[in-house]
Protein backbone atom coordinates (compact mmCIF):
# COMPACT_ATOMS: atom_id res chain seq x y z
CA UNK A 1 0.00 0.00 0.00
CA UNK A 2 1.34 3.43 -0.89
CA UNK A 3 1.83 6.13 1.72
CA UNK A 4 0.59 9.06 -0.33
CA UNK A 5 -2.90 10.49 -0.20
CA UNK A 6 -5.17 9.70 -3.12
CA UNK A 7 -8.24 11.25 -4.71
CA UNK A 8 -10.71 9.45 -6.99
CA UNK A 9 -11.92 11.20 -10.15
CA UNK A 10 -14.86 9.54 -11.86
CA UNK A 11 -16.38 10.66 -15.15
CA UNK A 12 -20.16 10.52 -15.57
CA UNK A 13 -21.88 7.92 -17.71
CA UNK A 14 -22.41 9.62 -21.08
CA UNK A 15 -25.67 9.58 -23.05
CA UNK A 16 -23.82 9.61 -26.39
CA UNK A 17 -20.28 9.47 -27.82
CA UNK A 18 -20.50 13.22 -28.50
CA UNK A 19 -21.34 13.91 -24.85
CA UNK A 20 -18.48 11.61 -23.76
CA UNK A 21 -16.01 13.58 -25.88
CA UNK A 22 -17.28 16.84 -24.34
CA UNK A 23 -16.87 15.34 -20.85
CA UNK A 24 -13.29 14.30 -21.73
CA UNK A 25 -12.47 17.79 -22.99
CA UNK A 26 -13.70 19.34 -19.72
CA UNK A 27 -11.93 16.75 -17.57
CA UNK A 28 -8.67 17.26 -19.49
CA UNK A 29 -8.85 21.03 -19.01
CA UNK A 30 -9.40 20.42 -15.29
CA UNK A 31 -6.38 18.10 -15.11
CA UNK A 32 -4.21 20.68 -16.89
CA UNK A 33 -5.22 23.25 -14.26
CA UNK A 34 -4.41 20.82 -11.44
CA UNK A 35 -0.90 20.03 -12.60
CA UNK A 36 1.45 18.43 -15.06
CA UNK A 37 -0.17 15.30 -16.45
CA UNK A 38 2.87 14.22 -18.52
CA UNK A 39 0.77 14.51 -21.70
CA UNK A 40 -1.77 12.02 -20.35
CA UNK A 41 -5.46 12.66 -20.87
CA UNK A 42 -8.92 11.18 -20.69
CA UNK A 43 -10.24 9.74 -23.94
CA UNK A 44 -13.47 8.02 -24.95
CA UNK A 45 -13.53 4.89 -27.13
CA UNK A 46 -16.75 4.65 -29.12
CA UNK A 47 -16.26 0.99 -30.04
CA UNK A 48 -15.79 -0.06 -26.40
CA UNK A 49 -18.14 2.59 -24.94
CA UNK A 50 -15.44 3.23 -22.34
CA UNK A 51 -13.14 5.98 -21.10
CA UNK A 52 -9.38 5.65 -20.83
CA UNK A 53 -6.56 7.54 -19.09
CA UNK A 54 -3.11 7.74 -20.59
CA UNK A 55 -1.03 9.00 -23.46
CA UNK A 56 1.39 8.08 -26.21
CA UNK A 57 3.35 5.77 -23.87
CA UNK A 58 0.27 3.70 -23.04
CA UNK A 59 -3.15 3.95 -21.47
CA UNK A 60 -5.60 2.05 -19.32
CA UNK A 61 -9.30 1.53 -19.90
CA UNK A 62 -11.38 2.89 -17.04
CA UNK A 63 -13.87 0.06 -16.58
CA UNK A 64 -15.45 1.92 -13.64
CA UNK A 65 -15.12 5.37 -15.34
CA UNK A 66 -12.61 6.59 -12.75
CA UNK A 67 -8.99 6.67 -11.67
CA UNK A 68 -7.04 7.32 -8.45
CA UNK A 69 -4.71 10.35 -8.56
CA UNK A 70 -1.96 11.46 -6.19
CA UNK A 71 -3.55 14.07 -3.89
CA UNK A 72 -0.16 14.98 -2.39
CA UNK A 73 0.95 16.13 -5.85
CA UNK A 74 -2.30 17.67 -7.08
CA UNK A 75 -2.85 19.39 -3.72
CA UNK A 76 0.68 20.79 -3.43
CA UNK A 77 1.29 24.45 -2.62
CA UNK A 78 1.08 26.71 -5.66
CA UNK A 79 4.35 28.10 -6.91
CA UNK A 80 4.53 31.86 -6.97
CA UNK A 81 5.36 33.43 -10.31
CA UNK A 82 6.91 36.88 -10.30
Determine the structural domain holding residue 55 and report its residue range: 6-74
pLDDT surpasses 50 at 14: yes
Predicted model pTM = 0.85
Measuring CA to CA, which residue among 77, 14, 79, 5 is closest to residue 42? 14
Q: For the chain, report the end-to-end CA distance as a whole number of angstroms.
A: 39
The tally of domains found in the chain comes to 1
Asked if residue 79 is part of any domain, the answer here is no
- Does 80 reside within a domain? no
* Residue 17 forms part of a structural domain: yes
Q: Is residue 51 part of a domain?
A: yes
Determine the Cα–Cα distance for residues 71 and 47; give it in Å rounded to an integer: 32
Is 81 domain-assigned? Answer: no
Q: Is residue 63 part of a domain?
A: yes
Selected residue with higher pLDDT from 28 and 2? 28
Decide if 82 is inside a domain: no
Residue 1 lies in a domain: no
- pLDDT tens profile 22-68: 999 999 999 999 887 889 999 999 999 999 999 989 999 999 999 99
Amino acid sequence: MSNHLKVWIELPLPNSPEEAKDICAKANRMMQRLGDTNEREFQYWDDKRMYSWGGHMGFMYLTDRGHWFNLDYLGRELEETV
